[in-house]
């Protein structure tokens, strides 16, 4: 069924990296969610009235709120598919994260509301009327919701969408909620023990916790997450594959929506290489990144001296001192100005977040160790922090 819907309503549905295809996926998930949840609302309202169960009626209105969440998803994908403009030069793709956050908050509040209703039922139990017609209706509604959950999950994975994945989790939670209602109805009808409230409370806790987790997952990309290890290694290997590049550092990657990346990096080239040749190399790299990976890359050129044995030896010695302090830290942009009375060693040191030493203390420790090598050495050290995972094969 899912494949049929994709073939009918999403042109070129296999090309999920295309923005228009992603938008079509989002629209399909939203419209399908609205239709199925409205159908479930009417089915469960009927079952709730027949059984005289407030929990079934509440479950029906939960499906009505899910229709509202599907509308939010639909609007989110519509806005995120808009092209960049003067006011939003990085595009509107982050709106998909915003809509995912709204759906996640809705999931959490549904769980809280269900918990409050369940507590009321524990304190003031209500009689339930067992009807096999109602049992059949609820079973059918669970099958519909199971299909919708699998539908959302497949679409969410296909386009890497937190919003659609959140809707899949919400559908799974609805199945659990309806299962609890159905179990309570059967137990009450067959044994006269009313566990409606207790079952509802247990499911409510699960739904609330899953909502909180979804909020965390959708807030993280809005705040700004570090890129994946795989992306960093792919960037590193591609840049280092170009002749004339001897190293790179200070890589930053900014995400402005799914598959919408802007990055900057410092590329090291030999100081002896003609500046026009170096400039042509980085121009080619920037163009290739946009064409091959869809990443808008800006490169800062860093000339480095590679054939001065004295500087190379000093750099190696400083790197050894740094590794003695911690293998987690590294240096770059190393240069030396030799003077008559003293020499300046200038470099940046990259430190992970939560490092055991503060920036000032680390600079002091390293400066003292460098002076122990030679009292004429003076250090000018700039502390950097990791914005991406370190390169695996550096």
pLDDT digits (tens, 9 = 90+) for 310-369: 999 999 999 999 999 999 899 998 999 888 889 999 999 999 888 999 999 999 999 999
Task: Over range 41-58, report the average pLDDT.
Answer: 79
% of the chain surpassing 90 pLDDT: 41
Task: Over range 50-72, report the average pLDDT.
Answer: 79
Confidence of residue 54 (pLDDT cuts 50, 70, 90): low
Cross-strand partners of 247: 268
In this predicted structure, the answer to whether residue 393 has a pLDDT above a threshold of 70 is no
Rounded (10°) CA dihedral 52, 54, 56, 60:
120
Q: The tokens of 96 are what?
A: 């998909």
Task: Over range 103-127, report the average pLDDT.
Answer: 84
Q: Are 199 and 193 in contact (CB under 8 A)?
A: no
Q: What is the pLDDT of residues 364-390, one digit of tens each?
A: 999 999 999 999 999 999 998 878 876
Q: What is the pLDDT of residues 167-190, one digit of tens each?
A: 898 899 889 888 887 887 788 778
pLDDT (0 to 100) of residue 96: 83
Q: How far apart are CA 143 and CA 136, in angstroms?
A: 11
The CB density around residue 359, as the number of other CB atoms within 10 Å, is: 15
Task: Over range 31-52, report the average pLDDT.
Answer: 88
Q: What is the pLDDT of residues 258-304, one digit of tens each?
A: 778 999 999 999 988 999 999 999 999 999 999 999 899 999 999 98
Q: What domains are defined for the chain?
A: 2-223 (1.20.1510.10), 229-385 (3.30.70.1350)
Task: Over range 246-263, report the average pLDDT.
Answer: 90
Mean pLDDT over each residue of the chain, to the nearest integer: 87
Strands 245-255 and 261-270 turn out to be antiparallel
Minimum mean pLDDT range among 42-46, 192-196, 207-211, 240-244: 192-196
Angle at 29 between CA 25 and CA 32, to 5 degrees: 135
Minimum mean pLDDT range among 43-47, 116-120, 130-134, 167-171: 130-134
The residue among 220, 269, 215, 212 whose CA lies nearest residue 242 is: 269
Q: How far apart are CA 108 and CA 120, in angstroms?
A: 19
Burial of 360 per CB tally in 10 Å (0-12, 13-18, 19+): exposed
The residue among 282, 362, 269 whose CA lies nearest residue 322 is: 362
Rounded to two decimals, the pTM is: 0.71
% of the chain surpassing 70 pLDDT: 97
Burial of 244 per CB tally in 10 Å (0-12, 13-18, 19+): middle
b/e map 24-44, b = 16+ CB within 10 Å: bbbbbbbbbbbebbeebbebb
pLDDT (0 to 100) of residue 389: 75
Confidence of residue 192 (pLDDT cuts 50, 70, 90): confident
Q: The tokens of 209 are what?
A: 């916790």
pLDDT (0 to 100) of residue 128: 65
pLDDT (0 to 100) of residue 391: 59
Task: Over range 58-86, report the average pLDDT.
Answer: 84
The residue among 33, 52, 40, 91 whose CA lies nearest residue 257 is: 91
Q: Is the dihedral of CA 130, 62, 44, 8 positive or negative?
A: negative
pLDDT (0 to 100) of residue 366: 95
Task: Over range 59-79, report the average pLDDT.
Answer: 84
């Amino acid at each position: 069924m899912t494949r049929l819907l994709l073939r009918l309503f999403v042109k070129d549905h296999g090309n999920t990296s295309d923005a228009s295809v992603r938008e079509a996926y989002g629209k399909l998930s939203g419209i399908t969610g609205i239709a199925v949840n409205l159908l479930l609302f009417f089915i469960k309202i009927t079952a709730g009235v027949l059984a005289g169960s407030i929990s079934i009626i509440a479950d029906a209105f939960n499906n009505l709120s899910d229709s509202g969440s599907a509308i939010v998803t639909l609007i989110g994908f519509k806005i995120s598919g808009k092209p960049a403009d003067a006011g939003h030069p990085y595009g509107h793709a982050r709106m998909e994260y915003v809509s995912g956050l709204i759906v996640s908050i809705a999931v959490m509040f549904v769980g809280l509301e269900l918990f409050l209703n369940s507590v009321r039922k524990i304190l003031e139990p209500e009689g339930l009327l067992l009807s096999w017609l109602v049992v059949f209706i609820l079973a059918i509604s669970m099958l519909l919701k199971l299909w919708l959950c699998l539908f959302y999950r497949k679409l969410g994975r296909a386009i890497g969408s937190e919003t659609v994945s959140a809707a899949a989790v919400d559908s799974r939670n609805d199945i659990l909620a309806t299962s609890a209602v159905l179990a309570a109805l059967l137990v009450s009808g067959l044994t006269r023990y009313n566990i409606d409230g207790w079952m509802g409370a247990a499911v409510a806790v699960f739904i609330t916790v899953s909502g909180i987790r979804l909020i965390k997952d959708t807030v993280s990309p809005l705040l700004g997450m570090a890129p994946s290890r795989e992306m960093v290694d792919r960037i590193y290997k591609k840049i280092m594959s170009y002749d004339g590049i001897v190293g790179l550092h200070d890589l930053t990657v900014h995400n402005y929506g799914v598959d919408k990346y802007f990055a900057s990096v410092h590329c090291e080239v030999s100081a002896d290489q003609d500046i026009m040749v170096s400039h042509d190399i980085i121009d080619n790299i920037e163009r290739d990144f946009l064409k091959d990976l869809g990443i808008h890359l800006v490169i800062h050129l860093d000339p480095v001296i590679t054939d001065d044995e004295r500087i190379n030896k000093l750099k190696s010695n400083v790197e050894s001192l740094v590794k003695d302090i911690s293998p987690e830290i590294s240096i770059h942009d190393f240069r030396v100005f030799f003077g008559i009375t003293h020499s300046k060693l200038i470099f940046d040191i990259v430190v992970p977040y939560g490092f055991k030493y503060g920036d000032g203390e680390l600079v002091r420790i390293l400066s003292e160790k460098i002076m122990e090598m030679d009292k004429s050495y003076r250090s000018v050290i700039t502390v950097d922090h990791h914005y991406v995972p370190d390169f695996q094969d550096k």
